[in-house]
């Protein structure tokens, strides 16, 4: 047996061993194959292709050196074996990727169904609990501005300065509600809008709790 045959035999043995280990790993965890397993299979496929090219080139070099004609029968058998190994690796990779895609799609469908069920349950609860519906509407209202300072004045009723987050929603005369968590403390009427921010005055029914820096301003929800 010449050196070339020994080299080919050793190479094929190593590749067969790698293929067996790959198939064993796939059957043990094909449903939860990690990204590293997919990368390893892709790398082995690339290695098989590179080895196939290298063997072909090595045989051509040996034949040129020895001045002997190519042996088509042996070359054909080796190439077919390499192709079979490559096809097996590609099939394993395709199976894993298809299974993972199916699992991801099933997970997305389950989450959508869960979210829809939760929304329906929320609506059912709100039908019999107006306070729950009111709290949700307050929490979901867009943030229009943030209170920077509130100045109390016994004679004029006080005023609040605020930072404007949505200028297109704020102009003199706009009514804003002061939101704290999921409740409304009071309502303010915008009296002035400047590039630096806005000024607003409390409306009747202000209550005992005054706004403080950081309180959020929203458009009053349509309860």
pLDDT digits (tens, 9 = 90+) for 55-70: 878 877 777 767 655 5
Please report whether residue 153 resides in a domain. Answer: yes
Domain that holds residue 196: 140-218
Domain check: are 89 and 29 in the same one? Answer: yes
Of 35 and 31, which is predicted with more confidence?
Answer: 35
Q: Is residue 35 part of a domain?
A: yes
Do residue 10 and residue 65 come from a single domain?
yes
Q: Are residues 36 and 114 in the same domain?
A: yes
Q: What is the pLDDT of residue 218?
A: 96
pLDDT (average), residues 88-116: 81
Give the whole-number percent of the chain exceeding pLDDT 90. 27
Give the residue among 197, 221, 195 at the shortest CA–CA distance from 146. Answer: 197
Residue 205's CATH number: 2.40.30
Q: Does some domain include residue 21?
A: yes
Mean pLDDT score, 93-118? 79
Both 169 and 83 in one domain: the answer is no
The answer on 117 and 91 residing in a single domain is yes
Rg (CA), the chain: 37
212 and 149 co-located in one domain: yes
Assigned domain for 174 exists:
yes
Residues 197 and 106 in one domain: no
Banded model confidence at residue 145, pLDDT cuts 50, 70, 90: very high
> Do the domain assignments include residue 130?
no
Choosing from 124, 156, 188, the residue where a domain stops is 124
Query: How high is the mean pLDDT of the chain?
Result: 77
- The answer to whether residues 20 and 108 belong to one domain is yes
Judge whether 194 lies within some domain: yes
- pLDDT tens for each residue of 151-196: 987 666 789 999 999 999 999 999 999 999 888 989 999 999 999 9
Q: What is the mean pLDDT of residues 76-98?
A: 82
- Residue 135 domain-assigned (yes or no): no
Instruction: Indicate the number of domains in the chain.
Output: 2
Domain stops at, among 74, 98, 124: 124
Give CA separation, 88 vs 16, 85, 99, in Å: 11, 5, 17
pLDDT for residue 75 is more than 80: no
| Mean pLDDT score, 85-109 | 84
Are 21 and 105 in the same domain? Answer: yes
C-alpha distances in Å from residue 177, one per residue of 21, 98, 99, 132, 220: 67, 52, 52, 18, 5
Query: Is 25 a member of any domain?
Result: yes
């Amino acid at each position: 047996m010449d050196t070339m045959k020994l080299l080919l035999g050793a190479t094929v043995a190593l590749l067969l061993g790698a293929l067996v280990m790959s198939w064993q790993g796939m059957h043990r965890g094909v449903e939860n194959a990690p990204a590293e397993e997919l990368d390893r299979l892709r790398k082995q496929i690339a290695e098989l292709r590179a080895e196939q090219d290298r063997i072909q080139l090595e045989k051509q070099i040996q034949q040129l050196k020895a001045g002997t004609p190519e042996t088509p029968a042996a070359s054909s058998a080796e190439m077919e074996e390499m192709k079979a190994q490559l096809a097996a690796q590609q099939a394993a990779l395709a199976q894993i990727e298809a299974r993972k895609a199916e699992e991801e799609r099933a997970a997305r469908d389950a989450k959508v169904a869960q979210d829809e069920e939760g929304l329906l349950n929320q609506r059912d609860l709100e039908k019999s609990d107006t306070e729950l519906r009111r709290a949700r509407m307050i929490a979901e209202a867009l943030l229009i501005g943030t209170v920077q300072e509130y100045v109390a004045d016994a004679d004029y009723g006080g005023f609040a300065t605020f930072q404007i987050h949505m200028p297109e929603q704020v102009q003199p005369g706009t009514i804003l509600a002061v939101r704290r968590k999921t409740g409304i403390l009071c309502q303010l009427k915008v009296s002035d809008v400047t590039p630096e921010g806005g000024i607003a005055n409390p409306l009747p029914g202000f209550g005992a709790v005054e706004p403080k820096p950081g309180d959020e301003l929203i458009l009053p929800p349509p309860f």
